[in-house]
């Protein structure tokens, strides 16, 4: 079991290497297929032995072999994070928390969420080239993932699951769209499409819990950042103006989604015990 988990981790780092390509190229409207990987500074193609996940970054001390300029640590972080998440999901599969078909789809969703997180942090946007295909795949995934849809009475499991996936799409996208309208731009269009994609994968009930968890995490972090600005700013008026600076919501949605997939039942039980 340990050997297989290590193999999945290594595979995850390779996926993370590809995600780094997506994170850099998608916001710049460049192809993620061609050309081959290159240094973002000198544009020199990266040789195969300099493109080994994790190892190459450490061996080159985070610098390009040709121009010597520093490469962002984000490349190493994404590879390591993707490997860890893949290993964690595989370990949960071994524990029987979800079958093999769902494991594959959840790894696909996790990969998309990792790319979205880092793109949103850096560029304050979520590419449609990820969310639109993700919505379609999420709906099709309902034919494999067993959704819980207690009030749907078609008595055809696959139809129930597809309906629940569609309701999740409407719940995830609709709630965020409503917030965007009421807040007059407080929620971006990319967040709405991401909510719809997550809903298509999870169904309506887990999606509601995901949104609740994401809003809670975002509020906590937002309050902490605002307090830090108040304490570090020389002018309280300037700090108060800075409170309106845009904070990307995509990463919180991504984190909440992964938490619900892995520990949704435990989180729901904890929530109902408290409230």
The 10s digit of each residue's pLDDT in 141-160 is 888 776 655 444 455 667 78
Residue 247: predicted pLDDT: 76
Cβ-defined contacts of 65-73 (< 8 Å, 24+):
66/39, 66/42, 67/39, 67/41, 67/42, 69/39, 69/41, 69/42, 71/39, 71/40
Provide the phi-psi class of 68: left if phi over 0, else alpha when psi is between -120 and 50, else beta. Answer: left
Question: DSSP letter at 85?
Answer: H
In terms of DSSP H, where are the helices of 95-188? 100-123, 128-141, 157-183
Residue 272: predicted pLDDT: 62
Residue 97: predicted pLDDT: 82
The 10s digit of each residue's pLDDT in 210-266 is 999 999 998 888 788 777 766 766 555 555 555 555 678 999 999 999 999 998 877
Largest CA distance in the chain: 64
**Single pTM value for the model:** 0.90
The 10s digit of each residue's pLDDT in 56-112 is 999 999 999 989 899 999 999 999 999 999 999 999 998 888 888 889 999 999 999
Please check the confidence at residue 180 and state whether its pLDDT lies above 60: yes
| Mean of pLDDT over the chain | 87
Residue 269: predicted pLDDT: 72
Residue 155: predicted pLDDT: 57
Q: How deeply is 61 buried, as exposed, middle or buried, from its count of CB atoms within 10 A (0-12, 13-18, 19+)?
A: exposed
Residue 215: predicted pLDDT: 93
* Residues β-bridged to residue 45: 38
Residue 149: predicted pLDDT: 52
Q: Look up tokens 């799409």; give the residue.
A: 169
């Amino acid at each position: 079991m340990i050997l297989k988990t290590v193999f999945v981790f290594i595979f995850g780092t390779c996926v993370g290497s590809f995600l780094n390509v997506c994170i850099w190229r998608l916001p710049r409207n460049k192809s993620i297929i061609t050309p081959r990987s290159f240094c973002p500074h000198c544009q020199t193609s990266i040789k195969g032995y300099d493109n080994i996940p994790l190892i190459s970054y450490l061996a080159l001390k985070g610098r390009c072999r040709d121009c010597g300029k520093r490469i962002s640590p984000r490349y190493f972080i994404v590879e390591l994070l993707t490997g860890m998440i893949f290993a964690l999901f595989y370990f949960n599969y071994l524990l029987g928390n979800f079958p093999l078909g769902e494991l594959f789809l959840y790894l696909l969703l996790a990969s998309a969420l990792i790319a979205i997180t880092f793109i949103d942090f850096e560029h304050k946007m979520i590419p449609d080239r990820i969310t639109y295909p993700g919505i379609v795949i999420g709906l099709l995934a309902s034919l494999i993932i067993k959704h819980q849809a207690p009030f749907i009475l078609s008595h055809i499991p696959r139809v129930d699951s597809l309906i629940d996936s569609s309701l999740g799409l409407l719940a995830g996208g609709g709630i965020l769209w409503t917030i965007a309208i009421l807040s007059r731009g407080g929620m971006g269009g990319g967040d709405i499409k991401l909510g719809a994609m997550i809903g298509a994968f999870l169904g309506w009930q887990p999606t509601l819990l995901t949104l609740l968890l994401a809003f809670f995490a975002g509020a906590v972090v937002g309050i902490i950042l605002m307090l830090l600005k108040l304490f570090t700013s020389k002018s309280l008026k300037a700090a108060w103006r800075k409170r309106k600076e845009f904070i990307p919501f995509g990463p919180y949605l991504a984190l909440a989604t992964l938490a619900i997939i892995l520990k949704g039942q435990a989180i729901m039980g904890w929530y109902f015990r408290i409230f």
